[in-house]
Every structure is written in C-alpha cells, then in structure tokens.
Amino acid sequence: MKKITYIFSLTTLLLASSCSNDSDAIETSAIEITFDNRISASQDLDLGTTVYMNQNNESVVTNELKYIISNIALIQDNGTVFEYPKEDSYFVINEEDSSSLTLSLTGIPVGNYTQISFGIGVDQSKYPLDGGVLNFIPQAEATGMLWNWAAGYKFIKFEGTFTPQGGTESPFAIHVGSHGQNLDNYKFVTLPLANTINISAGNTASVTVEAYVQSIIDATNQIKLEDTSDIQIDPVNAPRIAKNLESTFSAE
C-alpha cells in the first residue's frame, strides 16, 4: 500500500511540475524589419538614377549602398528589453538585393513594443576578424563588406558620382569601418516607433526602418565631396561619417 501511495505521489508531482513549466514558458512570435533606403523622407532612391543636391551644392547620384546592421534589440512599453541572439544578429543591407532588405526574426516575446535598437557595423567584441562572427564573415566577404582579414569590416559602402556646381562629374567612394581599437566607428542607435507594435502569438508583426542617404554626408557633419571624394581608412573623415550615421535612420 505504501508503494502505491509513493508512485501516486511521484506522478502527481511530475504532472504539477509539467504544468508549472508550461505556465512559466514565455510566449513568442515573429517580426519582419524592412529597411527602406531613401534620399529623404520625401524622395525615394533609385540606384544610378536619382539625383539630389547636397548642402554644398553638389549633385549626387548613388550607384551602390550597403551597410551592416547588428545587435538588434526591441524595447517594450514597460521598459523590458529583448536582445536578439547576438550570434544571429549580423546582417548586410544591400539596396541592390531586395531580399536583403527585410529581416525575419523569430522567438520575439509577445508584447507591445515602442522602440527598436541596432548597431551600425560590427562592435568591438567581434574584432578582430579571427575572433569575430564566424557565420557572418562569408556573407560580408561575398557582399564586398570586408577590406581583408586584417583590416576588418566595412560598416557602410556608399559609392556614386557627384557634380560640383559648374564643374564636371566625378566618382566618390565612402567605405567606413573600425580599425582595431584605435579607430572605433561602430555606432548604436535607439529609435522610437511611430506606432506601438503589438507582437502576438500566431501573427508576424512588421516595422519599417527608413534610411536617409542624404544624411550620410549631410547631417551633424557636412562632407564636401569636391574636397574629399574618397573616404576609407581616414582617421579624420571616417569618424565624421560614422557620426552622421546616427542621424540616418528613422522607424515607422
């Protein structure tokens, strides 16, 4: 009789534990984050076609636009922060490749979200490359977002042509990244969402992040392309571009 009672008690305990674990499980769902690259809020971007005038009266045409997004986090209306798993949180946004513009993230806790955060580039914890994000390196290399194994990642690759007022058309190239710990151009931004995003079970939420190309060279710092049209491993102008990137994005 005691043996039967013991088995019954153990079974009851296991069932109670199972129910408790189920009730404690965090319900999750999915979200799609679409990056909409534009000249400005009122002007769309077509590579090789769209012309805009910068604040230095230079006509600018964008032929290539790529940048790295990393370390995505979502913030709820109660202040709870969900950080997407770091090892899966590095992406190349390539205007020429429409499939790269929408990121599909799963395992997001349900709730009401009012802000989104992300890095522009690759943070110092993943430098140098031999200690980096191993599953991201091939993608970065294939999309031209590496200088080489020693120099590191290109956080942004922005190329095209410009024409000074009364001048002739010339090419420009802006490739900005960190160079070891001495020149850290990684930036992290937190953007308020225009409307609260409700992530609920069984539904995929969506949010659009707009990137304004004109801000890359016309924001906190104004870059005159006629004076400096090739910005790469540049200890003066690369940080100025990186600072501008903090003003480049807006979330809808």
What pLDDT digit, counting tens, does each position of 203-249 carry?
A: 999 999 999 999 999 999 999 999 999 999 899 999 999 999 999 99
Count of CB atoms situated within 10 Å of the CB of 82: 18
Q: Which of 65 and 183 is assigned the larger pLDDT? A: 65
- Residues 3-38 as b/e (b if ≥16 CB within 10 A, e otherwise) read eeeeeeeeeeeeeeeeeeeeeeeeeebbbebebbbb
Predicted model pTM: 0.88
- Model confidence pLDDT, tens digit, residues 95-120: 999 999 999 999 999 999 999 999 99
Is the pLDDT score of 23 beyond 70?
Answer: no
Contact status, residue 62 vs residue 40, Cβ threshold 8 Å: no
Q: Is 2 exposed, middle or buried (0-12, 13-18, 19+ CB in 10 A)?
A: exposed
Task: Look at residue 8 in the predicted model and tell me its pLDDT.
Answer: 42
**Tokens linked to 171:** 């090419």
Mean pLDDT over the full length of the chain: 88
Contacts of 4 (CB under 8 A, 6+ apart): none
Mean of the pLDDT values across residues 7-16?
44
